Amino acid sequence: TRWPALHPPDAHLGLHDPQGGFSEPLEYIAALSRRVRQLGVEILEHQAVTDFILKAGRIAGVRTVQGDLAADAIVSTVHVCTLPLLRSLGLTFPIKHFVHQRYLSKPLTVDPGLLSFPPVNADPYGGYVRPAAGGRILLGIETPDREEWRKQWILLAELVGH
């Protein structure tokens, strides 16, 4: 009754996480960048890393196409794209590549109560649905061009009654 727009089948179970949340990537990245710069962090973008600089068994910097950069700490922000480079250090992680598609509706002119539903992570279906800024709905899903994922996309849409 709390979220009238959410209509999962009776057999479906879920977990409500009142402390959970989400962020809009453009807003989140901009806010994160501002804050870490305020803390004195230098952010270098568009620097293709080709190798690590090692000193006494520790990473002391990175080699880039533009030159070497010494650093006290290295933060990788490109997820699985760093796997080949990290393997050179003997590091492996249980992460994978996948196509992630985000679909954002046009602003909806419906009763705001109908857009009152929590973010739904439907991990078995490889996707999620949630309200978005401006009276919109955001659907995200992995690898939608494969037939088995199209069927799961339809199930996600059915969860919110659309």
Report pLDDT for 90: 85
Split at pLDDT 50, 70, 90, the class of 53 is: very high
- Is the per-residue pLDDT at 44 higher than 80? yes
- Is the per-residue pLDDT at 151 higher than 60? no
The predicted model gives 113-142 an average pLDDT of: 80
**Mean of all residue pLDDT scores within the chain:** 77
The predicted model gives 73-88 an average pLDDT of: 76
Report pLDDT for 85: 80
Q: Which has the minimum average pLDDT: 20-24, 97-101, 153-157? A: 153-157
Contact 60, 53 (CB under 8 A): yes
Q: Burial letters for 99-119: b for 16+ Cβ neighbours within 10 Å, e otherwise? A: eeeeeeeeeeeeeeeebebbe
Contact 50, 65 (CB under 8 A): yes
Full-prediction pTM beyond 0.75?
A: no
The predicted model gives 8-15 an average pLDDT of: 75
Strand partners, 49: 64
Please state, in angstroms and rounded to a whole number, the distance separating the CA atoms of residues 61 and 76: 12
Q: Which has the minimum average pLDDT: 55-59, 126-130, 146-150? A: 146-150
DSSP-derived 3-state class of residue 34 = helix
